[in-house]
């Protein structure tokens, strides 16, 4: 009877031990993997934002080449047709991947403007409500840029779209002044940016207008995005929403990055393996302990009445 009780005790012990170790391993693994995925999400956000900034650098480089050029230096003064025929046809803007190009004189007044469609993407006209005398959308101070001699670049959010832009004072090919005006190049943020970002980062992503994000995605609120990235988990997919701001800290685009969560299936397999090993060790320990107890019972000395040991 005592042996049966001990065996039952071993079985109960083994069951409780296995269940507790599985629960502990599962909780630890869940916590570790979730934190790992959140860390990966923030790393993905940094990668995408860095790639997005490189898209802007491309426009900056073109703007620098064209604004520090003797031909541009002369053109903003006389608007000669030779320059227009050679450089400002629609094909030229498409090659440079630009929607808009504007030339300002030394007072900040627009003396020439050109718009082009990029494969049907973006407006084909220079929107008058955006580009006004001496300022762009009431934000970019052209006379100040001419006076400072410094390039200004960034994101510009407007009611007609979000632009990548770069503005530079127009100087000679030697980079000397005085500046005769300023040159602005801009491009709508569009589907081509999404394709290039996907290609360069390897992430599935989309760009969303800030005014549309709450309508399109449950649980994503602008007040939360204003503070930090929003991370959602669903069906082993991680979806990260991060707010990209323009040069004046206004919401310009919401970037949504999506990818499969890492390691949960493998992690649970590891839990099962570790639990199996623990169960084997616990069984071996329990059996060894039980054997010792049985041996101790069988080897106990037996005494007769009167205290003498049985021979």
Residue appearing with tokens 């069906």: 235
Which pLDDT value is given to residue 283? 65
Whether the predicted pLDDT of 120 surpasses 60: no
Backbone angles phi, psi at 79, to 5 degrees: 50, 45
pTM (2 decimals)?
A: 0.68
Please state which of the ranges 23-27, 104-108, 165-169, 231-235 shows the lowest mean pLDDT.
23-27
Hey, what are 261's tokens?
């969560």
Average pLDDT, the chain: 78
Q: What is the dihedral of CA 221, 225, 231, 234, to 10 degrees?
A: 20
Task: Read off the pLDDT band of 285 (50, 70, 90).
Answer: low
| Distance (Å, whole) CA 203 – CA 214 | 22
Average pLDDT over residues 64-86: 95
% of the chain residues with pLDDT over 90: 20
Which pLDDT value is given to residue 139? 75
Three-state secondary structure of 249-289? CCEEEEEEEEEECCCHHHHHHHHHHHHHHHHHHHHHHHHHH
Cis status, amide bond into 97, omega within 30 of 0: no
Which pLDDT value is given to residue 78? 94
What is the per-residue pLDDT across 182-235, written as a single tens digit (0 to 9) for each?
Answer: 999 988 887 788 888 888 888 888 888 888 888 888 888 888 888 888 888 777
Task: Read off the pLDDT band of 73 (50, 70, 90).
Answer: very high
Which residues touch 153 (CB under 8 Å, ≥6 apart)?
56, 59, 60, 63, 165, 166, 167
| Distance (Å, whole) CA 244 – CA 255 | 7
Within 10 angstroms of residue 110's Cβ, the number of other Cβ atoms is 19
Q: Which of 198, 194, 216, 217 is nearest to 207 (CA)?
A: 194
Give the residues across from 254 on adjacent strands: 208, 243
Domains of the chain listed by start with CATH number? 38-52+194-260 (no CATH), 55-188 (3.30.450.20)
| Distance (Å, whole) CA 274 – CA 277 | 5
């Amino acid at each position: 009877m005592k042996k049966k009780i001990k065996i039952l005790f071993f079985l109960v012990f083994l069951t409780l031990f296995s269940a507790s170790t599985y629960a502990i391993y599962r909780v630890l693994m869940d916590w570790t993997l979730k934190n790992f995925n959140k860390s990966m999400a923030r790393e993905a956000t940094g990668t995408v934002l860095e790639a997005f900034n490189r898209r802007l650098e491309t426009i900056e480089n073109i703007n620098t080449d064209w604004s520090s050029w003797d031909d541009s230096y002369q053109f903003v003064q006389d608007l000669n047709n030779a320059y227009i025929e050679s450089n400002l046809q629609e094909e030229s803007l498409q090659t440079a991947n630009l929607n808009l190009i504007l030339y300002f004189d030394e007072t900040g007044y627009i003396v020439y403007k050109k718009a082009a469609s990029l494969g049907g993407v973006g407006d084909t006209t220079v929107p008058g409500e955006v580009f006004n005398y001496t300022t762009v959308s009431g934000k970019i101070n052209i006379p100040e840029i001419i006076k400072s001699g410094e390039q200004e670049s960034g994101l510009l959010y407007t009611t007609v779209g979000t632009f990548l832009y770069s503005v530079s004072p127009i100087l000679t090919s030697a980079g000397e002044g005085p500046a005769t005006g300023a040159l602005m190049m801009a491009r709508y943020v569009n589907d081509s940016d999404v394709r290039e970002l996907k290609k360069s980062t390897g992430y599935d992503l989309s760009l969303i207008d800030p005014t549309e994000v709450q309508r399109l995605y449950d649980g994503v609120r602008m007040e939360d995005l204003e503070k930090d990235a929003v991370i959602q988990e669903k069906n082993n997919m991680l979806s990260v929403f991060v707010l990209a701001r323009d040069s004046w800290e206004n919401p310009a685009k919401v970037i949504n990055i999506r990818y499969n969560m890492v390691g949960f299936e493998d992690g649970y397999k590891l839990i099962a393996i570790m639990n199996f090993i623990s169960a084997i060790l616990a069984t071996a320990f329990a059996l060894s302990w039980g054997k010792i107890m049985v041996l101790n019972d069988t080897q106990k000395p037996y005494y007769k009445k009167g205290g003498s040991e049985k021979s």
